[in-house]
Amino acid sequence: MLESATRLLAERPKGADVTYWLMKSEPDGYSIDDLERDRREPWDGIRNYQARNMIRDDMKVGDRAFFYHSSCKVPSVVGVMTIASAAYPDPTQFDPDAEHFDAKSSKDEPRWLLVDVAFERKLNRPITLKELKGHPGLSDFRLNQRGNRLSIFPVSEEHWNLVLGLE
C-alpha cells in the first residue's frame, strides 16, 4: 500500500470501520493507469441519485474501493484505491462546457457530489467480469446481478477478500 493510502487509513477515527466499494470507469475516459500517474483524482461525473447519496451519506475517508474498467472489451477489476476526501460538490455540474454539466444545479444547491480517490495499487492481473460471474462464492456479488447499472456500490468484506484472492 502506498504511503498516502496508509496515512489516510491511519487518520481515521479509532474504531471506525472501513467500508469497501466498487467504482466503475470507462478506461478510455479515465483508467487505472491514469490514476497511477495522477496519484489522486476527483471521481467526477456521477449523475445518479442513488450513487450520489452513497457518496454523501456512506463513503468515508480511508474507505477502500476496487477500480473497475467498464464498457470495454474485457470489463475487469484492475486496481485498488482509497477514498481520500469527504464528499464535496462536483465542479463539472456548473461548467457549461463540461460533459457532465447540469443546468438545473446551482452553487447554492448543488445536486452532484464527488470524492477524491488515491491510487493504492494495480492488481497483479485484471479480474474479469467473466471470472467474477463464474466464481461460486460471488453469485450474490452486486456486480454479477442482472440490471446492476450503478457506477458505485458497496462491496461486502467477504466479497472484497474473495476478489483479492483471485489475483
Owner of C-alpha cell 476478489:
163
Pick the CATH number of 3-12+21-89+116-159 from 3.40.640.10, 3.20.20.70, 3.10.590.10, 3.30.1300.10: 3.10.590.10
Is residue 9 pLDDT above 50, yes or no? no
pLDDT, tens only, 38-84? 999 999 999 999 999 999 999 999 999 999 999 999 999 999 999 99
Closest CA to 45 of 30, 58, 65: 30
In this prediction, residue 16 carries a pLDDT of 59
Question: Higher confidence at residue 83 or residue 4?
Answer: 83
Closest CA to 57 of 86, 24, 22, 15: 86
pLDDT, tens only, 142-163? 999 887 789 999 999 999 999 9
Largest CA distance in the chain: 48
Domain ranges of the chain: 3-12+21-89+116-159
What is the C-alpha separation between 101 and 117, in angstroms, rounded? 21
Strand partners, 31: none
| Residues 124 and 69: beta-carbon distance below 8 Å | no
